[in-house]
Amino acid sequence: MFRTWSASFLDQLSAYGQVIEQHPRYFIALDDPQRWRELALILRTKGEVEYFVLLTGTHKPPCFHLRYDLRSLLYLIDIAVTFYVQESQPVSSVADIWPAAEWQEREAYDLLGIQFAGHPNLRRILLPEDWEGHPLRCDYAMPESYKDIPLIYQPPSAAI
């Protein structure tokens, strides 16, 4: 059986942006990315959102589009928080609120170049430390090789 958040709590969430309710799912389009950490703390403490499911980032120059999927196991509610942030603007880390965010923020940094302010260990997680660029960005040019290892696939020529 699903529980629901109170109307006053939903009103409090709507102060951060548009809230779309499709119980047991909620979507919050955050108006100001600078308020992400503030909203995250409210969701964690007052909304009892204790489970960090997924962080998704997409490069849409000159911005990044971020989506945080969260879950309240107590209320059996899923929450998606989305917002856009300028490429040059860091996003507040939520790794201290939801520890599972630590590795996912590192992955978003590694592959997209999103900076997370306050992250305890922001460094590459999938690619070597000396890798140049962030491969999931729209403007990324794939290198032909890395340390003399070819990276461009060339199918073998078929002998007839």
Burial (CB < 10 A; 0-12, 13-18, 19+), residue 87, is middle
Distances (CA, A) of 69 to 11, 53, 127: 20, 5, 24
**Least confident range of 40-44, 45-49, 99-103, 154-158:** 154-158
pTM above 0.75, yes or no: yes
- 88 backbone dihedrals φ, ψ, rounded to 5°: -85, -10
Tokens of 2: 């699903």
The mean per-residue pLDDT over the stretch 93-105 comes to 98
Strand partners, 87: none
Q: Which residues of 112-147 are buried (b: 16+ CB within 10 A; e: fewer)?
A: bbbbbeebeebeebeeeeeeeebeebeeeeeeeeee
Instruction: Give the residue from 90, 73, 72 showing the smallest Cα distance to 36.
Output: 90
CATH of domain 7-150: 3.30.460.80
Residue 160: is its pLDDT beyond 70? Answer: no
Task: Measure the CA–CA gap between 11 and 13, rounded to whole angstroms.
Answer: 5
74 neighbors 50 (Cβ within 8 angstroms): yes
Q: Domain residues of the chain, as ranges? A: 7-150
Average pLDDT on 134-141 reads 95
Q: What is the pLDDT of residue 9?
A: 94
